[in-house]
Structure 1
Amino acid sequence: MAIGATMHTFEVDLSLIDRAVYESFTVRVARHPSETEAYMMTRLLAYCMEYEEGIAFAEGGVSSTEEPAVLVRDLTGRITAWIEIGAPDAARLHFGSKLADRTAVYTHRDPAKLLASWSGKTIHRASEIPLRSFDPGFIDSATTAIERRNTMSVSVTEGQLYLTLGDLHLETPVHETHVA
């Protein structure tokens, strides 16, 4: 019998100050057995930092091959934002960039290695795709506070992320480079 996903609930207070987005919401995150806590935390932070009407996690979960980990749909159901997590391959980024109005990548891995893996490969509108990462150790530190039920505060201003998860308080710059 296959092991099912572990459900985590996050009560989120979100302040994206530069975009004037202030929301409080509850989000349930299904952590697939093959998904690391670092990947799940990066996926959750990407969801928060990209938050807008129509945002959702992929319906097929992290094993979906037809959708990114996080996406935004308009009222017609068309994907308007393709948001990848981790280390997607160039072909997947190319596909997503052609399909959606905008594409972004959030990684908990070494961004230099990721950029090197895409070097010389065809990626539609590569210069418009931001690759966002955090200081080394930030994601790993955040994962130590993950419970099944969580209270979380995320504030982003001028490229700095402030995270409170339970009793843990962390901050990091959001490093942004572009794919090409």
Structure 2
Amino acid sequence: MALKATIFKIDLSISDMDRNYYAEHSLTIARHPSENDQRMMLRVLAFIFNASDTLTFTKGLSEVEDPDLWQKNLHDGIELWIELGQPSEQRIKKGCNQAQHMMVYSYCNGAFDKWWQKEQSALNQRKNLSVITIDETIGEQLSALVNRQMHIQCTLSEGQAWLTIGEQAIELTPNILKNE
């Protein structure tokens, strides 16, 4: 018998002063049985940093053809394609070719460092690709705060983010390795 996804509900309040974006989002996230809390929270961070009314979570690990998140326009064209981790060159090529902009979010760790060293020169040739890392200790802190129902308040300003989850506050600065 196959394991089912675990459903998480997140009430997210975003104040993004860098983009003048202020909104409330009610997110329902299905965490695939093979996905851990740290990866799920990286998806939430990717949503926070790119939040819009049209950014959506896809089926993710359940649907290998789709990215983790995407933003489509009214004509079903893909404006933004977001992948997590260390995607293959073929996956990056697909995302860059199908979307106006592609982003890769990953936790900064030894596996990412090896991937980045190997792929950096090829990735730097992609004009519509951004690569962003988050300190792995932030992922550990976030995964310790995961609950099936969460309230997250986030303020973004000058490239930094301040998250409040319950009574815990976390400050983070994403590391932009490559920006379109």
Using structure 2 for the length normalisation, give the TM-score: 0.91
Q: Show the counterpart of 2:35.
A: 35
Structure 1 unaligned blocks of 5 or more: none
Displacement, 1:67? 1.2
The percentage of counterpart residues that share the same residue type is 26
Return the offset for 1:23. Answer: 0.3
TM-score by length of 1: 0.91
SS in 2 for 1:44: helix
Whether 1:154 and 2:154 are equivalent positions in the alignment is yes
**Deviations along 1:108-153, whole A, 9 cap, x unmatched?**
24343231232454x5952542211122301110111110000001
Q: How many residues align?
A: 178
- Equivalent residue for 2:143? 143
Q: Which runs of structure 1 show a deviation greater than 6 angstroms over 4 or more consecutive aligned residues?
A: none
Is 1:159–1:175's contact at 8 Å kept on the other side of the alignment?
A: no
Distance 1:55 1:23 in 2: 13
After superposition, where does 1:163-174 map in structure 2 within 5 Å?
163-174=163-174
Q: Partner of 2:175 in structure 1? A: 175
Q: Deviations over 1:61-109 (max 9, x none)?
A: 3232211100000011111111111111111011100110001111124
Alignment correspondent of 2:113: 112
Structure 1 CA distance for aligned equivalents of residues 74 and 114 of structure 2: 37
Q: What residue ranges of structure 2 are gaps of 5+ in the alignment?
A: none
Deviation at 1:47, TM superposition (A): 1.1
Alpha-carbon distance in 1 for matches of 2:117, 2:35: 24
Aligned mates of 1:124, 1:137 — CA distance in 2: 27
